[in-house]
Amino acid sequence: MEKLKVASLFCGCGGMDLGVIGGFSYLGKEYGENSFEIVYSIDNDEYCTKIYNQNFQHKCEIKDVREIDVKSMPNFDILIGGFPCQSFSISAQNPPRLGYKDERGMLFFEMVKILKEKKPRFFIAENVKGIMSANKGKAFPVIIEEFRNAGYIVTHKLLLASDYGVPQKRERVIIVGFRDAEDFAKFRFPTRVPIRERKVLGDVIQEENNHNESLFFSERAVAGMMAVREKMNKGRAMRLDEPCNTISAHLAKVSLNSTDPVFMVGERFRRFSTREAARIQSFPDSFVLNSVAEVRQYKAIGNAVPPVMMWHVVKSLQNVMSIHQLNMKEMLSLFPDSIVRNNSLDNTSKGTGTSCKLDIDDTKNVLVSLVKADNMEQYLDQSAKIYYTGKKFPSTVHLNKLYYFMPYVKGKGIKDLYFIKVARVGTRKEGKPDNDPNDLRLVFEIEFIKSLFDEYKKINLPIWDTFNDTTLAGLMNALLCPTV
């Protein structure tokens, strides 16, 4: 797939941009490269841009977004931006929650102006949770309406970073806009990662920093905090077995009399190092920070979007774009026989006519696909042994991941779970007189396991999506907690 071009506003040190392009490792997990490339990025903070330009091939301009000559911008397919959020923050005290009336809050209008002029296919905007309640709830509807007036169908969701493998309880509103109604219909926000893949503070703390005296608070600072601790409810020491509270740009001047998270070593309090703060935000250790002073590093990191959370959002958006017809003849020449075989079928069930005795693993990927009326009976009585796709399906079919199959019976929904024994290229009526060798399909040889539900359930999940990265747990989550 040809990479889509991205323009990034208010890019800061590049958390959002790193999540968009992918191709990094964090805490031992690889976050693969996405089908995007940055062609334009801008921020007005010279220190953030210095960090950015040490880490990205495309170089960021130091410029106020209001000074952009929109007509001279390169063409792009997606506009991203975490427009300045201070005026929308619940904790903002000066000025007191002015929302979109504040000059910085007005900067989102610059994003709208660019959308109207350049008309990219998508946009992604990010902001703090407080934007939804700013100005007694009046600011957010105005923002959404402005995006709609720019020609976009808009959806939004409040995401918790810790749900996506980030060791931080950071809540952020993600707004996604689509120029095309079909794109919008296919999109779903990412499902939460399994609990075993979620991270806690203990995963990112560096032991050597427990001996770095420059990170520890003085006895005087601790005594001052303890004297008013009950009254102020401050001194937020974090637990190692939980995600960290939200870190902010204040980390360089963190105080024990604030809500900023701190760490305890024995009976002593310390702040996080810049690298620990970056890890809490899900930046990889390969991300270079030392091009600026520590105080600037803290600010840049605290204002950033967690790259791992953004990666999951963009992965969901990428699934929307990957749907088109495959060149099946080319695939057949590359894979003339079996493409993928799954070997976990219990041998005791083979040839017995009974369902297989397979322990269900909800981390495995599941394919949900439509069964039409002329092919429905064998799925209703659970006797089906093979499933043929239609002629059109996504270009990014991850056959090596697919492990289960759930037939979506037209007019009913899903109920039964099958094991995929073989996934390959074939034809719809193999071995029959009316077989057309040019009628190429993806073929799944399947074995019934069990019914997951007593009755059929309709799903709020595009069938196309499950050709890619939908786990059985993700499917169940979509059924139990549908996106609204």
- Judged by phi (left if over 0) then psi (alpha if -120 to 50, else beta), residue 43 lies in beta
Q: For residues 70 and 260, which has the higher predicted lDDT (pLDDT)?
A: 70
pTM recorded for the entire structure:
0.66
State the catalytic residues.
85
35: which DSSP letter? S
Q: What share of the chain is helix, strand, coil (3-state, %, to 5)?
A: 35, 25, 45
Q: Which of 164-168, 225-229, 278-282, 475-479 is least confident?
A: 225-229
Confidence of residue 312 (pLDDT cuts 50, 70, 90): very high
In three-state secondary structure terms, 32 is coil
Confidence of residue 349 (pLDDT cuts 50, 70, 90): very low
Domain boundaries along the sequence of the chain: 4-198+301-321, 201-272, 328-480
The predicted pLDDT at position 253 comes to 74
CA distance 418 to 376: 15
Task: Calculate the average pLDDT of the chain.
Answer: 83
In three-state secondary structure terms, 43 is strand
Q: Which of 46-50, 56-60, 88-92, 197-201 is least confident?
A: 88-92
Distances (CA, A) of 101 to 94, 143, 323: 13, 11, 41
- Contact between residue 270 and residue 215 where contact means Cβ atoms under 8 Å apart: yes
Q: Which of 26-35, 328-337, 343-352, 448-457 is least confident?
A: 343-352
CA distance 256 to 237: 9
Average pLDDT over residues 210-217: 91
Q: Which of 298, 291, 289 is nearest to 254 (CA)?
A: 298
CA distance 465 to 145: 29
Token digits of residue 88: 């929308």
Q: Which amino acid is at 363?
A: T
Average pLDDT over residues 207-225: 84
In three-state secondary structure terms, 470 is coil
Q: What is the distance of C-alpha 403 from the center of its chain?
A: 23
Average pLDDT over residues 345-373: 67
> Does residue 310 have a pLDDT over 60?
yes
> Does residue 86 have a pLDDT over 70?
no
> Does residue 484 have a pLDDT over 60?
no
Average pLDDT over residues 426-432: 72
Confidence of residue 165 (pLDDT cuts 50, 70, 90): very high
**Which residues in 130-258 belong to E strands, given as ranges?**
153-160, 171-178, 236-237
Confidence of residue 334 (pLDDT cuts 50, 70, 90): low
The predicted pLDDT at position 250 comes to 78
- pLDDT tens-digit readout, 11-23: 999 999 999 999 9
Q: For residues 230 and 457, which has the higher predicted lDDT (pLDDT)?
A: 457
The predicted pLDDT at position 218 comes to 81
Token digits of residue 259: 């809500």
- Name, in order, each residue with C-beta under 8 angstroms of 130's C-beta and a sequence gap of 6 or more: 85, 88, 89, 90, 91, 92, 97
- pLDDT tens-digit readout, 99-157: 444 555 568 889 999 999 999 999 999 999 988 887 778 788 888 999 999 999 999 99
CB neighbour class for 39 (10 Å; exposed up to 12, middle 13-18, buried from 19): middle
**Which residues in 198-317 belong to E strands, given as ranges?**
236-237, 261-265, 268-270
The predicted pLDDT at position 347 comes to 40
Average pLDDT over residues 89-104: 45
Confidence of residue 428 (pLDDT cuts 50, 70, 90): confident
- pLDDT tens-digit readout, 25-80: 999 999 999 989 999 999 999 999 999 999 999 999 999 999 999 999 999 999 99
CA distance 204 to 223: 28
Token digits of residue 102: 């504040």
Q: For residues 33 and 251, which has the higher predicted lDDT (pLDDT)?
A: 33
DSSP H helical ranges for 281-325: 294-302, 307-321
102: which DSSP letter? S
Q: Which of 196-200, 425-429, 479-483 is least confident?
A: 479-483
The predicted pLDDT at position 158 comes to 96
Average pLDDT over residues 229-243: 72
Q: What's the CATH fold of domain 4-198+301-321?
A: Rossmann fold (3.40.50)
149: which DSSP letter? H
The predicted pLDDT at position 177 comes to 96
Residues in a beta bridge with 457: 414
- pLDDT tens-digit readout, 370-409: 888 778 889 998 999 989 887 766 666 777 788 999 999 9
Average pLDDT over residues 146-169: 96
- Contact between residue 394 and residue 433 where contact means Cβ atoms under 8 Å apart: no
Q: Which of 266, 264, 285 is nearest to 275 (CA)?
A: 285
Direct distance between the N- and C-terminal alpha carbons of the chain, in angstroms, rounded to an integer: 30
